[in-house]
Structures are given as C-alpha cells and as structure tokens.
Amino acid sequence: MTREPGVQAQARNHTYATLIIGAGFSGLGAAIKLRQAGIDDVVILERGDRVGGTWRDNTYPGIACDIPSVLYSFSFVKNPEWSSAYPSGAEICQHIEDMATDFDLRRHIRFGMEVNGLGFDEKEGMWTATTLARKQFRARTVVFASGPLADSGFPDIRGIDTYRGHKIHSAQWDHDYDFTGKRIGVIGTGASAIQIVPELVKYAEFVKVFQRTPGWVLPRWNPATPQPVKDLYARVPAVQQLVRQALFWGHEASATALVWNTPLSSVMARLGKAHLRRAVKDPWLRRQLTPDFTPGCKRMLISSDYYPALQRDNCKLIDWPIATLSPSGVRTSDGVEHHLDCIVFATGYDVHLTGPPYPVTGLGGRSLNAEWAGGGQAYKSASAHGYPNMFFMTGPNSGPGHNSLLVYAEGQLDYAVQGIKTILDNDLRYLDVRAEVQRRYNNGIQKRLTKTTWMSGCSSWYLTKDGFNASMYPGFATQYLRQMRDFRYGDYHAVEQTADVLTGARKST
C-alpha cells in the first residue's frame, strides 16, 4: 500500500521520533507542523486505505460541514477553490487528499494499520503501538489524532435484530442501495439527519423521520463562490485570510449566546423560533419541532431545507417514541407499525469520552481506560498525567460549541509540536505533566463549565452517562488558543535519558 519503500523497510526495528494515530485533518496537520519544525522521522498509522478520517467515512447524501470551509480548514493549508460557503463532504475530503499530496505526507502514512493497543516503556522512554494486523511500531512520542467522531455503530434500540429490511448507518453509507420508490425510515433528527432527509425525499416514495428531541435549527445561507472571488483568493491570499478572520470573530461573538447561558441565548432561541414560524405553517408540527432546551446545549443545526423537506407530501415527522423495531419496520408507542423497506440510522457516533476503545498503558502499568472511566481528563486537553510523551488532538475538554474545530486543532498542533520538540531537543526520556497541575486545571475547567449551556439540563453526546462534561472547552476560541500557545515546561516532570530526574522547574532556573 505504501508508496515509499523507505518507510516500510525501516519499520520493523526503527524507533520513530513521532507516531501519529489517524490520517484525518488533525493527523495530517500534525505531520505538516512537525515537518515544518524539522521533525521528519514521523509515521502516521491509518486504519483505512485512504486519508480523510471522518470526512472519508461519512459520505451520506447531503453531507456538509456546519462551519464555512474558509474557517473549517487549517490556516496553513490554503485553498482558494472552495466552491461555496458550506461545500459538500466530498469536496472537504478532496481537500484533505490534496493536503496529503501537496505536503508530501503520503510517504509517512501506513494504511491498513488499526491500532489496538499502546504501551509506554518507562526505561526506554518509548511508546509501542500494536495493530490489528499484528505489526508493532515504536516511537518516542505519540500524537493521538483519531478524532472524536471516528467510530459509529447501530444504536441499542429494542428489536433492532428482528428487523428484516435494509439497515444503513449514516456514517457507513450504502451507496449501492437504490432509494427510488422505497419507503424509508430515518431515526434521529440531529446534524446528520437534517442533511440526509432533504436528499432522501427527492427519491424515496415516502420518508418517515422518527424524532426523539428536536434541535434548534437556524437557516443556512450557502452562496456559491464566484470565480472572480476564487481568482482573487488565489492571487491575494491575504483577502481569504481576511474573510477567515471575519468569520472567526463572527463565530467568536456567538459564544456569548451558545457557550454561556446568557440573555443572548434566549435571543438565539427567538431566532430559531422565528425560523420555525416562517418555515412551518402547521402549529402542531411547529410545537413538535420546538426544542425545550437552551440553544447551544446540543449543537446548533444549520439548514434551510430540513423544514421544507419535512412538509413535503412524501415525508412525515413521527414524534411518538419508538416502542420497538419489528421484522417489517418500526412500531411506535401510539400502537402503529410503520412498514419500511429501509431504515437509516442517523443516530450519531460512539464518542469515546472515556478514552480510546483499546488499552493504553502508561507509567507503572497504569491504564488510561480505567482512569478515564468516568470521563477523560487532561491538561489543556493535550497531556494526561502518567502518559508521558503523548499529545492528544481533540482531547478532553477541547470541543468548541460555537467555532471551528480546526481552529482549536491548530492550537493543539502548536502545543504538541512545542512538547515534542522539547522532548527531542533535550533528549528527554520522558516529559509527564504534573498531577497537581492537571488537577488544578481540571478543577478550573469544571467550575467554569457550570455556567455553560452544555450543563443547562439537556442530555447530549457532550456528556458521559453520569452527566460529566469531558468534551467541551468553556470559553472563547481566543482563550483556548492563548493557553495552547503557552507551553510551560515547569508544568511537566522531565526525565532525562540518564535516568537523572530533573524537574522542569529546576531545569528552567
């Protein structure tokens, strides 16, 4: 699979400077940044056979990002060619492919390598990753870039195994299935469903949308980028940078309504209700579609075609609870059985708020999975005490509710590169964040979280089963980026190769 024989040949006993897990946006971003910092001995382990991560896996009809691509991209990877404000998932995926090619990253990637275990050797200061294909990779540092929405599966709904029709998960779309003239059920009304439904109603005989909780939907304005604008972006990149800045600050301003529960949150609710009133005529349907949680508590949905799609003659919103799936379809609690040829599960992802789905063993044999069982905790979302030389992308409490994930990821990249450079340049055996620093940081984060919309009482995938918020960052992107630029050596416990323990504090004096 690998195009560069060099990487493969050296794989067996070689110890890489950095091992990156995942060849999605953040994994490739990490490789670019590391190379720019002069670290070239990098291997990227990718379980698929293509780059792109979540954008490669999610190919359902209508897929797009809910943040404009000029902002949902890395500032150091220019793309003047975005076809519109919110281009399709395929276009985003192509952008990631181009990123891999243009920055000559493919020679670092080992495809078909699904990591199933990570262990740290304290004596050697070395991480070893094992893969499903029984390969081992050794590296001094690890960048965890498997993404928050990488895994998905059918939900645990009663009777799901009895259903005899066709089942499709939104994140694993079946492109061979012909929806024309079929009776389709869509379970879920979140970010994926609101993009899928408007597409399905174009082909299907009938679409029934099964809703549990309606979300706040704001209209989406998605103008095509005119060719002269693309040309301008290409000739004068500063113009696109300016647009990016404007979008950034626009989104930052929305934090005052979406991150914190403020009077502006109710303004946001009013906007949502106004959109609903304008788009939906029937008062009962409007009532069914009116959310009863604070805007922001669950992710805002952006769509101008979801409400119209629901009101088409061949579409119906079913608000009754699902009692069970049956061999022929869905039985709702009003006693009716909905006969369906195919059920689309737009039920979201298996978000690993409690750590990766495989064992990670740190200092003294400690288990990350056990320590994170109640929800992940890290320092600045990037380092976890006891798991040295490892840097998390989209780690605990790094999620934005109002801005581009990739803006946050850039902060994480800078932080990881500073950390990795510190380890390599000083030839440290390991660099481990101090327990009390991490504890203090998390106490602060959890305290700040109490004032946010995410903790205002709705149940969302941001929270663990016990209601612990291990996913979101309670602040502006600006604040987050400021903390990520500031790599404090003194916050870490540094151990040199000679086994002489040097504290960061001592070393820095």
- Tell me how far apart the terminal alpha carbons of the chain are, to the nearest angstrom: 49
Q: In a 10 Å sphere around its CB, with 0-12 CB exposed, 13-18 middle and 19+ buried, how is residue 425 labelled?
A: exposed
Q: CB of 190: closest distance to another protein in angstroms?
A: 18
Would you give the binding string for another protein spanning residues 111-150, x where CB under 8 A is met? ----------------------------------------
Q: What is the largest CA-CA distance in the chain?
A: 74
Which residues 6+ apart lie within 8 Å of 109 measured at CB?
Answer: 2, 23, 43, 44, 46, 51, 100
The phi and psi torsions of 118 (rounded to 5 degrees) equal -140, 130
Q: CB of 331: closest distance to another protein in angstroms?
A: 5
Q: CB of 155: closest distance to another protein in angstroms?
A: 15
The phi and psi torsions of 141 (rounded to 5 degrees) equal -135, 155
Given the complex with another protein, which of 232 and 285 has the nearer CB atom? 285
Instruction: Tell which one of 284, 364, 365, 498 touches another protein (CB under 8 A).
Output: 284
Of 287-316, which residues contact another protein (CB under 8 A)?
Answer: 287, 292
What residues are paired with 128 via a beta bridge?
119, 138
Residue 332 is a binding residue for another protein (CB under 8 A): yes
Given the complex with another protein, which of 75 and 328 has the nearer CB atom? 328
Given the complex with another protein, which of 230 and 339 has the nearer CB atom? 339
Residue 83 is a binding residue for another protein (CB under 8 A): no
Residue 465 is a binding residue for another protein (CB under 8 A): no
Spatial distance between the Cα atoms of 241 and 225, rounded to a whole number of angstroms: 15
Given the complex with another protein, which of 109 and 184 has the nearer CB atom? 184
Stretch that binds another protein, among 122-130, 303-311, 336-344, 374-382 (CB under 8 A): 336-344
Angle at 45 between CA 350 and CA 90, to 5 degrees: 65
Which residues 6+ apart lie within 8 Å of 331 measured at CB?
Answer: 159, 322, 323, 324, 325, 337, 338
The first and second tokens of residue 390, run together, are 């490892």
Residue 338 is a binding residue for another protein (CB under 8 A): yes
Spatial distance between the Cα atoms of 88 and 86, rounded to a whole number of angstroms: 7
Q: CB of 282: closest distance to another protein in angstroms?
A: 5
Of 153-192, which residues contact another protein (CB under 8 A)?
Answer: 158
Residue 277 is a binding residue for another protein (CB under 8 A): no
Residue 334 is a binding residue for another protein (CB under 8 A): yes
Note whether 349 and 204 are within 8 A (CB): no
Residue 140 carries which DSSP code? Answer: E
Given the complex with another protein, which of 287 and 440 has the nearer CB atom? 287
Residue 328 is a binding residue for another protein (CB under 8 A): yes
Residue 337 is a binding residue for another protein (CB under 8 A): yes
Three-class SS of residue 387? strand
Given the complex with another protein, which of 158 and 164 has the nearer CB atom? 158
Instruction: Tell which one of 83, 443, 450, 459 touches another protein (CB under 8 A).
Output: 459
Q: CB of 160: closest distance to another protein in angstroms?
A: 14
**Other Cβ atoms within 10 Å of 134 Cβ, number:** 7
The phi and psi torsions of 215 (rounded to 5 degrees) equal -105, 165
Spatial distance between the Cα atoms of 30 and 176, rounded to a whole number of angstroms: 35
Instruction: Tell which one of 226, 335, 364, 365 touches another protein (CB under 8 A).
Output: 335
Stretch that binds another protein, among 25-33, 252-260, 327-335, 433-441 (CB under 8 A): 327-335
The first and second tokens of residue 235, run together, are 């000739």
Contact positions toward another protein, by CB under 8 A? 158, 282-285, 287, 292, 320-321, 323-324, 326, 328, 331-339, 457, 459
